[in-house]
Chain A
Amino acid sequence: MKDFLPILKSLKSNYIAALLFITQVAITFTILVNAIFLALEKREVISRPSGLDEHNIFYVATNLPVKDAEKKALLEQDLLRLNAINGVTSAAVSTGLPLTGWGRLVEVATKPDTKYDTFSGYYGGDAQLVKSFGVELIAGRHFKKEEELTARVDGYKIASEAMVTKALAKSLFDESWEQIVGQTLYINNKPQRIVGVVKTLQSAWPSWVVVEHGVISAVKETDGIVNFVIRTESGVPTSVVDQTLSYLMETHGRKIDKVEMFTDVKARAYSAENAASKTLLGVIAGLLLVTTLGIYGQSRYGIVKRFKLIGIRRAMGASKGEIIRYFMLENVILTCLGVILGIISAIVLSVAFSNVFELGTVPMSYMIYGSVCTLLLGQVAVFYPAFRAAQLPPAVATRIV
């Protein structure tokens, strides 16, 4: 610590270089903390569970190419045949799938004839849909086969039972959400009894505020395009997909609108977040590289300029360790000043971002970890120039300008 005062004095005499260094550290710290925070925030969004058994599900969007009156029969036959395919755990029909970007939404209220309490995504299908999604039941019971109904469109209008997601139950009943089982909710002003609660089932739009809200009813819809949700045992074998398609194509006039693995649906839904987080990681890598180079270059410059001083100190009896320690301590002091400035500007930037772009602010723990990392980075970058300086023979060093 006896080096502390000499360091401050030498910094004072060369304050421009010191200021430059401090500014660099501050900027690095500001970008680093904000970029890591944003990247992790994106990662968190991507890793949210959809509620589905994601790796074992694919879906086929197709039509029912018969007259309206015969659609129900064909749909039931399709479901029977699809369930019979070897390797299929469960097949069901649904009005939509999570994260596809196309789906239904309903208004949910706890009292009749009032304005809605919240919005929710809506899925209608046969009694097996919950099982085919692979969604976990956490309260109440599943739909019974005899509760199943068929509608042409807008199944929620004729449904009398419904299941909801835990997130929706919580938004209506807070911590006593389990009480929702047996209660009556008004879905688009139509009373429906809640029979069960599922853990998670996201709606069709990943960026929706209430993406975790979901209502499921046991009403199959036959109009236009129907979605067959097919769950298999482990992974989706191509043979199952082939058998499904070849069965479906047996019916004359069938159009296959889409065949997609659920993992692909999810990757597509989050491609923006994924790309953004990768870009941010690239920025962080570039940042660390440039800053390390910068600190290295500046320390080297500062040391080369002081060769004479080093030579004199060595000649007066300072050990190599003392020389190294001197420069490392100098680096710590400068980096600390930079980090303090950086914390202030990081908070300012983060608050500005959160105001303009509706993001969360960077939590304090990021500042602490960021400071430690920046300090370490500085020490690593300065070590080699300091080590080289210490190796300089005093006789040579004193001769150099």
Chain B
Amino acid sequence: MVIYYIKLACLSLWQTRSLSILAILIIAVGISATMTTYTINYMMTKDPLPSKSDRVFLVRLNNWSPEAAYRNRAQERPPTYLSVQDTVNLIKQNKAQGHIPIAGFKDMLKLPEQGAIDAEMTFVRATSRDFFSSFEVPFLYGSEWPQSVDENGEQVVVLSKKMNQTLFAGENSIGRSLMLGDHQFKVVGVLDDWFALPRFYGDSMRAFKAPRDIFVPFQTQINLELWTSNLQSYECWKEPENTTVAALWASECVWVFFWVELSDKAQKPEYLAFLNAYVQEQQALGRFQRPIINELQTAAEYMQERRAYSSDSKIAVWLAGCFLVLCLLNAMSIIMTKFQGKAAEVALRRAVGASSFDLVQQYTLETSIIGVLGGVLGLIMTHICLYVSSQLYTHLSKDIMSMSVELMLATVILSVVSSLLFGLFPIIRAIGVQPAKQLKSL
């Protein structure tokens, strides 16, 4: 019976092909507008670490001038980053499962055999081995550096897949060397494809850019005194003793983002108590002369506070949603027109014994075929729109403009459900004809 209905539906679609194609097109346009904006918004605002969102925290200590609150805010909040000495101290105390300092510098990168002219200015991320395990970064070759490297600050690097492609033509480069400025570094690991979206762990202004391509141990940056003044924001309430980098390291200037991974949610109060105790200890030494308002902030809270999420994408979703409703209303009136022309057929079928339920079934099938075709076409158009967006939105990482399988499935389902919903009314109208009256006029 179903096969017979499908045959009938196809026949009917073919008979009214121009109207059917119009309905399919209009549904597809609406679906693709909605799904494109929704995909972008979804990728931008999704939880970057779903499995650990409640146990990975940004550490904020209230290290600021005794005279004024940080940024003179009415409601005092601690800075979002720490000084080098506090970062080093907290890592040494080793109270959390993972300690992830986020620092970095810029330097000229080249292979040892290349000349100075081939060197490229490269952004380097300085962090710890816990970065890779806590943020679930996949490795292609090798692994993160061992614990001892973090403690001693040895000259090793982890490369991204892209950087490994550029430098070593994509081959297993473990054990090879490269030069960063005047220092030689040994490759210990190469990452697999990794998209951190949004890239929550650093400067919120760059949350939708790709991660950096080269990682070195934080302690190595400290030991080698590598510092780039115009790379990250840094704030000082007290001048460093003198102009050397060593003095900057020892100063109260704050610039290192410091994340911790705790073993579970329950450890949060415990770790906060530890931080407060640490600050009290430091107060005894004459530092931290402000109220203790330390904070442990989740990635989502941090992004929210820094307004990393632009409202544009949300507005676009709203507008596209309205647009979809409009398209569906349009499709509804087209389907109504289609069925109107079939009043005689309906009357004939009713007269020879078809129940109204039979007819509902048949027309529902026809509408769902329109929905499925609209959804599939919409999916194709969504991909085209996303491609165009990735060319247009140069300030966003290309990885935002990609759809997961769930989203693709959702697209088709949205199309079918909404066209069924909006097609129901025309169907009910269509089967409501009076058989006798219609037949008479034939």
Residues of A within 8 A of B (CB): 16-17, 20-21, 23-24, 27-28, 30-31, 34-35, 38, 61, 68, 101-102, 107, 115-116, 152-153, 223-225, 255-258, 268, 271-272, 275-276, 278-280, 283, 286-287, 290-291, 293-294, 297-298, 300-301, 304-305, 349, 353, 356-359, 401
Contact = CB atoms under 8 A, between A and B. Distances in A.
Contacts of A23: 329
B333 to A, nearest CB: 5
Interface string B308-336: 00111011101110110111011011101
A62 to B, nearest CB: 11
Interface stretch (B80-88, B217-225, B372-380, B388-396): B388-396
B441 A401 contact: yes
Ordered nearest first, which 6 A-B pairs have the shortest CB separation?
A224-B229, A357-B311, A294-B330, A301-B337, A271-B395, A275-B393
Given A101-B205, A257-B121, A223 B243 contact: yes
Interface of B is mostly: helix
Contact of B392 (A101, A107, A275): A275
B326 A224 contact: no
Contact of A20 (B319, B322, B329): B329
Contacts of B314: 356-357
Interface in B342-401: 344, 389, 392-396
Contacts of A298: 333, 337
Query: Which one of A17, A34, A290, A304 has the greatest number of beta carbons of chain B within 10 Å?
Result: A290
B230 A272 contact: no
Given A223-B229, A224-B229, A283-B319, A272 B121 contact: no
B337 A297 contact: yes
A367 to B, nearest CB: 17
Given A271-B395, A294-B333, A358-B311, A286 B33 contact: yes
B340 interface: yes
A283 B326 CA distance: 12
B124 interface: no
Contacts of A68: 243
B77 interface: no
B148 interface: no
A400 to B, nearest CB: 10
Given A34-B319, A116-B72, A271-B395, A293 B441 contact: no
A297 B333 contact: yes
A272 B326 contact: no
Contacts of A357: 311, 314-315
A16 B205 contact: no
Contacts of B337: 297-298, 300-301, 304
A235 to B, nearest CB: 23
Contacts of B29: 286, 290
A272 B395 contact: yes
A28 B243 contact: no
Main secondary structure of the interface of A (DSSP, over half): helix
B106 interface: yes
Contact of B230 (A20, A61, A294, A358): A61
Contacts of B230: 61, 102, 224-225, 257
B22 A293 contact: yes
Given A61-B230, A68-B243, A255-B108, A35 B26 contact: no
A116 B73 CA distance: 11
Contacts of A225: 228-230
A268 B395 contact: yes
A257 B106 contact: yes
Nearest to B206: A101
Contacts of A305: 340
A20 B310 CA distance: 35
Contacts of A358: 311
A279 B392 contact: yes
B429 interface: yes
A272 B329 contact: no
Contact of A24 (B22, B229, B329, B396): B329
24 contacts: A20-B332, A27-B325, A27-B329, A28-B326, A31-B323, A102-B230, A116-B72, A153-B243, A223-B229, A225-B229, A255-B108, A258-B121, A271-B393, A271-B395, A272-B312, A283-B323, A287-B326, A291-B330, A294-B330, A297-B330, A297-B334, A301-B333, A304-B337, A357-B311
A30 B393 contact: no
Contact of B326 (A27, A101, A255, A401): A27
Given A27-B325, A31-B323, A275-B395, A283 B33 contact: yes
B339 to A, nearest CB: 11
B311 A301 contact: no
B326 A115 contact: no
B423 to A, nearest CB: 13
A116 to B, nearest CB: 7
A279 B316 contact: yes
Interface string B49-76: 0000000000000000000000010000
Contacts of B37: 279
A38 B230 CA distance: 34
B392 A301 contact: no
A258 B122 CA distance: 11
Nearest to B121: A257
B108 A35 contact: no
B65 to A, nearest CB: 12
A353 B315 contact: yes
A224 B336 CA distance: 71
A268 B394 CA distance: 8
A79 to B, nearest CB: 19
Interface in B385-441: 389, 392-396, 429, 441
A300 to B, nearest CB: 8
B392 A290 contact: no
B333 A20 contact: yes
A93 B85 CA distance: 34
Contacts of A287: 323, 326
A21 B327 CA distance: 12
B395 A290 contact: no
A304 B343 CA distance: 14
Nearest to B388: A282
